[in-house]
Amino acid sequence: MTEVVGLGYVGLYATDLEAWRTYGTEVLGLQDVSAAENSDDQTVLLRADERGWRFAIHRGDAGGAAYVGWEVANRPALDALGERLAAAGVAVEEDPDCAAVRRVEGLLRCTDADGNRLEFFYGARVPKRPFVSPRGVRFVTGDLGLGHVFFFVTDLSAAKEFYLDTLGFRLSDTIEFHGRKVHFLHVNPRHHSLAFVQNDKLAPALGHFMLEVDHIDDVGRTLDEVNTRGVQLTETLGRHTNDLAISFFMKNPSGSEVEYGYDGRLVDDATWRVSNYDATSLWGHHRD
Ligand SMILES: [Fe+2]
């Protein structure tokens, strides 16, 4: 079993911070808290729930994710995870300076098998002032953590070894199509907090991150915003075979994609059985 209890936060690079500020608030419905959090002018901070922030957009032209923050329950859990990673030969170190910047009580950092920067933390700051979505959206987070991230990996067996064997994430199921097998992993009842698939042609990359809202109308209203504003839709509305989420996919200003969805299935580890699906979607999710 892993000490990780959920996806905590995501850091991204972007060359156009103002585009992200507009997209994050007016399309996604996140709250811009850069000023409230005294962020520097090189970073946009976005809030999705009671946590002080969930997304940090940093000025920079590197692709992919800057970092992914995985939450553990408390200091003993962080220490235990650090010891397990070190015993497995992973170079991991405590970083108090980074913890201060991320506004958490304790933080370890390392890289995964593909060199993606991971941060493990506990003690996220919860401000008194309430979360106010500029579009009236409520995101499904809490015990399920912040949606999920999807990575293209260059060495599937190394990724499986790191996330399943070393970190202890649990396999939910796989989807096999076009000769590749997508792996979906959970750390709490959310069907998956992480998914990855082999990508032979490109460098390791963040494919998308997913935000879940609590009402289908907020998926529809966001889709209206996407169409009205000319945001590039990358997959039409559809329902996934495995997690049963109704969602669509679009480009974000960092060049990766956002999956915006509703009604994701929950996993009960006491009764769950792994399946292998032969399609990603029951309907929809068409790419041009
Ligand atoms: Fe997804």
Mean of the per-residue pLDDT values of the chain: 96
User: In Å, what is the CA distance from 21 to each residue of 157, 252, 254?
Assistant: 37, 11, 12
| Cα–ligand 1 centroid distance for 288 (angstroms) | 18
Count how many Cα atoms sit within 13 Å of the Cα of residue 151 in the half-sphere of its side chain: 26
User: How do the domains of the chain map onto residue ranges?
Assistant: 4-122, 142-284
Which positions ≥6 away from 176 have C-beta within 8 Å?
A: 182, 276, 277, 278
Q: Same CATH topology for 4-122 and 142-284?
A: yes
Please report where in the chains the tokens 């397990």 appear, as a residue: 84
User: pLDDT tens-digit profile of 35-80?
Assistant: 988 878 899 999 999 999 999 999 998 766 899 999 999 999 999 9
Q: Could you tell me if 141 and 48 are in contact, meaning their C-beta atoms sit under 8 angstroms apart?
A: yes
Which of the residue ranges 29-38, 53-62, 121-130 has the most confident prediction, judged by mean pLDDT? 121-130
Mean pLDDT of 125-129: 97
Find the mean pLDDT for residues 131-150.
98
Q: Report the separation in Å between the CA atom of 149 and the middle of ligand 1, taken as the mean of its atom positions.
A: 7
82-102 confidence digits (pLDDT tens):
999 999 999 999 999 999 999
Which helix (H) or strand (E) segment holds residue 206: the answer is: strand 205-213
d(CA 26, CA 22): 6
CATH topology of domain 4-122: 2,3-Dihydroxybiphenyl 1,2-Dioxygenase; domain 1 (3.10.180)
Dump pLDDT digits (tens) for 198-243. 987 667 789 999 999 999 999 999 999 999 999 999 999 999 999 9
Task: Report CA(157)–ligand 1 centroid distance (Å).
Answer: 21
Helix (H) or strand (E) holding 10: strand 4-14
Ligand 1 midpoint to CA 259 (Å)? 6
Per DSSP, what are the bridge partners of residue 108? 94, 120
Q: Given this model, what pLDDT does residue 63 score?
A: 65
- Is a pLDDT exceeding 90 seen at residue 124? yes
Q: Which residues surround ligand 1, an ion (CB under 5 A)?
A: 210, 259
40 alpha carbon – ligand 1 mean position (Å): 31
The encoded tokens of residue 229 equal: 């504003």
Contact, 43 vs 109, CB < 8 A?
no
Beta strands 106-111 and 180-186 are unpaired
Could you read off the pLDDT of 256-280 as tens digits, one per residue?
Answer: 999 999 999 999 999 999 999 999 9
What pLDDT is stored for residue 1 in this prediction?
83
Task: Please write the tens of the pLDDT for every residue from 161-181.
Answer: 999 999 999 999 999 988 899
CA 38–ligand 1 middle distance (angstroms): 32
CA 242 to ligand 1 centroid distance, Å: 10
What is the Cα 27 distance to its own chain's centre?
17
Sign of CA dihedral 117, 242, 188, 20: positive
CA of 122 to the centre of ligand 1 (A): 25
Residue 187: the pLDDT is 98
Residue 283 CA, ligand 1 centroid: distance in Å: 15
The pLDDT value given to residue 178: 85
CATH number, domain 142-284: 3.10.180.10
Q: Distance from the CA of 98 to the center of ligand 1, in angstroms? A: 28
CB 41 within 8 A of CB 85: no
